[in-house]
Structure 1
Amino acid sequence: MPLSDADLTQLAATVGRHLHAHRERLVTAESCTGGWIAKAMTDIAGSSAWFDCGMAAYSYEAKQALLGVRPQTLETFGAVSRETVIEMVSGALVNSGASVAVAVTGIAGPGGGSPDKPVGTVWIGWKQRGGYARAEVFQFDGDRDAIRRQTVDAALKGLLPR
């Protein structure tokens, strides 16, 4: 069953309660979701208590300027890679007042895929200020909307205790 807006809103509210309880503030660095994670979080009333800011960095230039992703990283590994998402999530923390960050980069389709990075390939990174970045690759199915919804879902779930 596809993820609904209500599913994402409920999950965002749960993440917000967790952040608030731990006195943390979130920053998002988004490529393939274009700000959807930030939107889901700020749809929750009172989110200003735990949401710092969101950066939608779609182009190589924006990833470099807003998040400090190195040109060599993009040239060597591409935008959709573990290396890039780690630099994105780290740069989001450097360029914000947040204590925790999530970053996403992927291929939502319908075009843009390749044999080694097919449509639906998404890297998600999470990091707490002063900690180490954690990154995970996902292979989502469906159309562009479904892939983006699954990305938002996985990004938010990764902010909750395991």
Structure 2
Amino acid sequence: MSSTAAGVLAALAARGETLAVAESLTGGLVAAELTGVPGASRVFRGSVTAYATELKRDVLGVSGDLLRERGAVDAEVARQMAAGARRVLGADWGVSTTGVAGPDPQDGQAVGTVFVAVAGPDGNRKVAALGLNGSRSDIRRESVRAAFELLSGELVENARAQDTEHNGGI
């Protein structure tokens, strides 16, 4: 997975952009993958591991009403966490993970229910809903992979949009 992290960091460095992370179920694994890459400090601003629901609200700015109504395992919560990471840590891009790694369901969501999100400098927020199987460790590891995959896809899409803009919409 470190090659995926390295690719994301290289793409961000080439663009002169930075990254921040907000993690729940992954408990710092996304940040660990990023910081395992030599030179990550050029791009990676930091992370917030908001395992407790109130930290999602108080530190990352996730809506308290949303958390009360839907719980912490929700697509919009993931979107707001990613945006909060960008804002709190002063980054161009934010990535987040929230979900249920097990062994028990949480907030009415089954084990393996995961949401990963990306918030970019253009204000767009993308989220991927995952239904994962396997052990707690498998679910957490796959969540990290999915977060990098979503970010990588957004970086490519964002670059295409910028190229089109710079070429007069052609």
User: Given the two structures, how large is their TM-score scaled by the length of structure 1?
Assistant: 0.90
- Contact 1:77–1:83 under 8 Å retained in 2: no
Structure of greater Rg: 2
Pairing partner for 1:142 from 134, 148, 152 = 134
**Matching residue's letter, 2:130:** F
- Contact 2:93–2:119 under 8 Å retained in 1: yes
In structure 2, the residue corresponding to 1:154 is in which secondary structure? helix
User: Given the two structures, how large is their TM-score scaled by the length of structure 2?
Assistant: 0.86
User: What is the alpha-carbon distance in structure 1 between the residues aligned to residue 61 and residue 106 of structure 2?
Assistant: 25
Which is richer in helix? 2
1:118 is matched with 110
* Equivalences, count: 154
Instruction: Give every structure 1 segment of 4 or more consecutive aligned residues whose post-TM-superposition deviation is greater than 3 Å.
Output: none
User: What is the alpha-carbon distance in structure 1 between the residues aligned to residue 126 and residue 27 of structure 2?
Assistant: 21
Q: Which runs of 5+ in 2 are unaligned?
A: 158-170
**Matching residue's letter, 2:129:** V
**Matching residue's letter, 1:81:** D
User: What is the alpha-carbon distance in structure 2 between the residues aligned to residue 83 and residue 154 of structure 1?
Assistant: 17
Q: Which runs of 5+ in 1 are unaligned?
A: 1-7
Pairing partner for 2:7 from 3, 14, 33 = 14
In structure 2, the residue corresponding to 1:146 is in which secondary structure? helix
- Taking every aligned residue pair, what percent have the same amino acid on both sides? 36
Pairing partner for 2:66 from 66, 73, 80 = 73
Compute the RMSD of aligned alpha carbons. 1.3
Over residues 106-158 of structure 1, what are the superposed CA-to-partner deviations in whole Å (9 max), with x where a residue is unaligned?
000111257x6211010111011242111110011100000000000010111
2:167 is matched with none
